[in-house]
Amino acid sequence: MTICYVGLGSNLSQPEQQLRQALSALKDISGVQLLQASSLYRSAPLGAPDQPWYVNAVAQLETSLEPLALLRELQTIENSQGRVRQGERWSPRTLDLDLLLFGEQTIDSEALTVPHYAMHERNFVIFPLAEIAPSCVIPGIGSISALLATLPQEGIERME
């Protein structure tokens, strides 16, 4: 069994409900146990400034699945909740599920990069991750506590 972390984000079609539904769907994946989830956070969007703010969270899972199998399950959840991939990065979306960390593994393939390539630069990932895993260390990057000190608190607020 491997401990992993998944980032959740939505800014379309009732974002809070999208995240709650996604958390429920994570529990239904065979070979996956949802251990805990962070509070919901409201955050400013990346990309086009004229889009709605996001709602974000991080979930801690324990899984017997391999990383690519888990990624496929995450994409299935995204698709079932109306995710449309438009090719444009950081565009509005009903649901985005990112595999942030998979144990202590480093994966760099065409299909998957773990740790997630820019997670350490994003307050909407690090703040919720620090809430549920304050002693977490990102392979090749460093500790969550050290990252917290470098990230701005502007543009993010805890909702719960």
Catalytic amino acids? 83, 93, 96, 98
Give the CA distances from residue 55 to residues 35, 46, 97, in Å, rounded to whole numbers and listed in that order: 20, 12, 12
Return the closest-CA partner of residue 54 out of 112, 122, 114: 122
- And the tokens for 60? 């801690």
**110 three-class SS:** coil
Burial of 57 (0-12, 13-18, 19+ CB in 10 A): buried
Cβ neighbour number for residue 69 with a 10 Å cutoff? 14
